[in-house]
Structure 1
Amino acid sequence: MKTFHFSIVLGNANPDSENLEDRLFEAGCDDALVCAYGETVYLEFDREAETALDALNSATLAIKNAGFQIRSYQEGGVVNLSDIARRTQLTRAAVNYYAKGTRGPKGFPKPIYGLDSPTPLYDWAEVAVWLVKHDKLQQEAAEVAVASHQLQLGLLRGGAELSSQEGHSPGH
């Protein structure tokens, strides 16, 4: 078993939701820290499982069993270069060099949004897989990014759980 760290944003909860912590704990979220950003509630998990997808699916089920909806899987979204630096403990300058291709390994993922802005956005799953390939990030973090990305797409399609057969591991 491995321990996977990830965050899930709840869609129908606020910090004052009745018995929020108790409901989540009793449903199986005893390995999550309940956090809030303004009125938005999110859970930070350190969950043990065989795969990141298993960890995320079991957390998803527990949240739903507690009566809450999932708004997003934090690691399944987009990031800017500052976010990448923060998530990896690399300097902002190093990440910028990778993105521009001026230093370090080549082939950094291309931005997917904001090309006409000073802050382009990148697909975190693509970036995480690239970073693992170049020994700049732990494998588990990339597995969480890829699984979160898949589940985020599932949310957009109206369902969040995926079977392990539908997933794939980073770098394969």
Structure 2
Amino acid sequence: MTEYSFTLKFNFSNPQLDPNSYIEQLYESGCDDALIGIGKQGCISLDFIREASSAFGAVSSAISDVKKAIQNATLIEAAPDFVGLTDTAKILGCTRQNVRNLIFNSEMRSPFPIYEGTPSIWHLAEILTWLKEDKLYAIDDALLEIAKVNMEFNFARKWRKVEPSLQEDIQALVA
């Protein structure tokens, strides 16, 4: 079993629901390995440290546990996934400037950002894979695995919003 650290953010179909009322239910449904954050009305965030045989098993069981406690909860983000230079530097234990130099000095081979701006945003899994394969960095396998799984959950969540009649045509165009 491997220990995976990740965050799941949910919102409720009824934004008037008080997230505080679900804390006991979350612990009873299996989320006793999570720190629960309540901020914005109608939203809840859970920071998990979960043991499982795979990252997919850890994240999917956590989502199921949340949905047992809060049937109307909708996943809005699985993290870590979206990162900037500062986030990446913190994860790698180096400076932001070091990460910036790595990416911009290897521009042709480095991952493309999903958002180019100030700040630019990347998928963590793509940066970690690139650093491991091209730059020969020692990347924690559990971190890489959880980043890949979270990226896939976030893709799936967004794909549900694509008009079903367009999905086949879009897949053909981006293949």
Q: CA deviation at 1:91?
A: 0.8
Identical pairs, percent: 25
Corresponding residue SS for 2:19: coil
Q: CA deviation at 1:18?
A: 4.4
* TM norm structure 1: 0.78
Contact 2:19–2:44 (CA under 8 A) maintained in structure 1? no
Q: 2:65 is matched with which residue?
A: 62
Paired residues, number: 153
For the residues of structure 2 that align with 1:139 and 1:15, how far apart are their CA atoms?
38
Q: CA deviation at 1:127?
A: 0.9
Residue segments in structure 2 that go unaligned for 5+ positions in a row: 162-175
Q: CA deviation at 1:119?
A: 2.0
Q: CA deviation at 1:62?
A: 0.5
Q: CA deviation at 1:48?
A: 0.5
**Residue 15 and residue 83 in structure 1: after superposition, are their counterparts in 2 closer, same or farther (change >3 A)?**
farther
Q: 1:165 is matched with which residue?
A: none
Aligned residue runs from structure 1 range 78-93, under 5 A: 78-93=82-97
**Residue 156 and residue 80 in structure 1: after superposition, are their counterparts in 2 closer, same or farther (change >3 A)?**
same
Q: 1:142 is matched with which residue?
A: 144
**Residue 123 and residue 18 in structure 1: after superposition, are their counterparts in 2 closer, same or farther (change >3 A)?**
closer
The two structures, once aligned, show a CA RMSD in angstroms of 2.4
Q: 2:27 is matched with which residue?
A: 25
Q: 2:44 is matched with which residue?
A: 41
1:70-116 per-residue CA deviation (whole Å, 9 max, x = no partner) reads 1111223x2211121122222111101111126xxx832122212xx
**Residue 38 and residue 88 in structure 1: after superposition, are their counterparts in 2 closer, same or farther (change >3 A)?**
farther
